[in-house]
């Protein structure tokens, strides 16, 4: 029996139901298994238009932007065949949604081209399209230099922005992420997340969404820098760990920072028991150094420090990262391994 005959009713009810992060991943995985039976073809051209439209609604509910792109492209092909050069409201709305999907994945040139196409289809484009294009132009102008170098298939790093909130929180639902990365828990999701983004997306703090071309947003990577010194952190959603995406994202970020920010060295911290992170750091050239981060008022807190860059003495490393902590107002104190609350320079 065809996929759409079985799944039609499920799609009808899906976009009306609240879903948990775990349920969301199950849905988007199942959709991919059905729609992409192998790597050489997909079933989108075989779907009845009614099923295709239900699928678009379901994917909007799931915020599954890669699948929205596939759906909207197929729907637009059908609209173009039927419209005979007479654009319809359906065509304009579909192109608008397709542009949004490209934007979410960080594919800004495609997002712009798609909106331009929609606007040029009619002598009187809707104000919503004009406003969307103006907003997209503003966002594009704020993109960092070398944005194209942040794409290394299958990953696309794009500056984290307000529209990423829902997809970010879907992947961030695993409480161990906040614990291991010392990040907020975002109890008041809207207010806390937007404030956190505003505070941590500056000229010296860079937050990026880690997008996968097939899955959408799968995590985040951040870099703070002072002059030529960097400090980074990253995390990936539970379902995307252990697949090499973390080292790939960090390597891409550091290569970009070296070229466009003048970064010459970088530090990172991790808990001793976080074996996957320690292995990932080693994979991308970070080495443990005889320094750690402690909190004088929290005896249980202790993180090891890793370094990537030219060889330096322990004292030079301490001086450098301590200066970074002071300049960036980091919480914690840098001390030598085996000591607590006393700096190496003391």
pLDDT tens per residue across span 296-314: 888 888 999 999 999 999 9
- Provide the percentage of residues in the chain whose pLDDT is more than 70: 94
Report residue 346's pLDDT band, with 50, 70 and 90 as the boundaries.
Answer: very low
Specify the pLDDT at position 335. 92
Annotation: CATH topology of 3-141: 1.25.40
How confident is the prediction for the chain on average, in pLDDT? Answer: 91
Q: Which of 114-118, 159-163, 321-325 is the least confident region?
A: 321-325
Looking at residue 123, the DSSP 8-state letter turns out to be S
pLDDT band at 190 (very low <50, low <70, confident <90, very high): confident
Distance CA 295, CA 300 (A): 8
DSSP 95-122: HHHHHHHHHHHT-HHHHHHHHHHHHHT-
22-36, 101-115, 242-256: least confidently modelled range = 22-36
Higher pLDDT, 39 or 319: 319
Of residues 145 and 331, the one with the higher pLDDT is 145
Q: State how far the Cα of 324 lies from the Cα of 250, in Å rounded to an integer.
A: 20
Both structure tokens of 159: 């500056």
Q: What is the DSSP letter of 257?
A: H
Confidence of residue 7 (pLDDT cuts 50, 70, 90): low
Cis upstream peptide for 81 (omega within 30°):
no
Instruction: Supply 276's token pair.
Output: 């996957």
281 near 304, Cβ under 8 Å? no
Strand order in the sheet with 155-159: 151-152, 155-159, 205-212, 216-226, 229-236, 265-270, 298-308, 287-295, 333-336
Same fold, 3-141 and 144-263: no
pLDDT at 70: 97
What DSSP state is assigned to residue 36?
-
Gap between the Cα atoms of 199 and 265, Å rounded: 24
- CA 279 from centre of chain: 22
User: What pLDDT was estimated at residue 342?
Assistant: 40
343 pLDDT more than 50: no
Would you state the pLDDT for residue 82?
A: 87
| DSSP label of 92 | H
Q: What are the structural domain ranges in the chain?
A: 3-141, 144-263, 265-346
Residue 298 confidence (pLDDT): 87
The number of beta carbons lying within 10 Å of the beta carbon of residue 41 is 10
Which position has the token pair 């997909």?
A: 42
pLDDT band at 3 (very low <50, low <70, confident <90, very high): low
User: What global pTM score does this model have?
Assistant: 0.92
Chosen CATH of 144-263 out of 3.40.630.30, 3.20.20.70, 3.40.640.10, 3.40.250.10: 3.40.630.30
62-93 residue pLDDT tens:
999 999 999 999 999 999 998 766 778 999 99
Condensed to tens digits (0 to 9), the pLDDT of residues 19-58 reads 899 999 999 999 999 899 887 789 999 999 999 999 999 9
């Amino acid at each position: 029996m065809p996929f759409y005959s079985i799944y039609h009713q499920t799609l009808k009810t899906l976009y009306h139901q609240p879903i948990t992060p775990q349920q969301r991943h199950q849905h988007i995985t199942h959709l991919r298994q059905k729609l992409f039976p192998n790597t050489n073809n997909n079933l989108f051209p075989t779907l009845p238009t009614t099923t295709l439209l239900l699928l678009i609604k379901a994917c909007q509910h799931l915020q599954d932007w890669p699948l929205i792109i596939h759906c909207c492209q197929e729907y637009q092909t059908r609209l173009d065949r039927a419209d005979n050069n007479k654009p319809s409201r359906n065509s304009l709305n579909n192109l608008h949604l397709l542009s949004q999907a490209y934007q979410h994945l960080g594919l800004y040139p495609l997002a712009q081209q798609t909106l331009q196409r929609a606007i040029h289809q009619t002598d009187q484009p809707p104000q919503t399209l004009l406003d969307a294009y103006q907003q997209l132009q503003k966002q594009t102008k704020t993109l960092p230099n070398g944005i194209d170098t942040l794409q290394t298939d299958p990953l696309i790093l794009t500056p984290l922005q307000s529209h990423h909130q829902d997809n970010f929180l879907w992947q961030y639902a695993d409480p161990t992420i906040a614990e291991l990365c010392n990040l907020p828990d975002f109890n008041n999701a809207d207010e806390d997340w937007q404030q956190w983004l505003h505070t941590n997306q500056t000229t010296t703090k860079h937050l990026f969404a880690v997008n996968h071309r097939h899955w959408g947003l799968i995590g985040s990577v951040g870099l703070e820098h002072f002059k030529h010194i960097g400090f980074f952190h990253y995390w990936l959603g539970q379902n995307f760990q252990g697949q090499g995406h973390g080292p790939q994202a960090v390597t891409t970020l550091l290569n970009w920072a070296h070229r466009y920010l003048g970064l010459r060295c970088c530090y990172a911290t991790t808990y001793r028991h976080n074996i996957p992170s320690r292995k990932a750091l080693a994979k991308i050239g970070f080495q443990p150094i005889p320094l750690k981060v402690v909190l004088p008022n929290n005896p249980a807190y202790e993180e090891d420090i890793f370094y990537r860059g030219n060889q330096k003495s322990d004292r030079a490393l301490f001086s450098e990262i301590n200066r970074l902590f002071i300049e960036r107002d980091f919480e914690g104190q840098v001390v030598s391994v085996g000591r607590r609350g006393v700096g190496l320079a003391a």
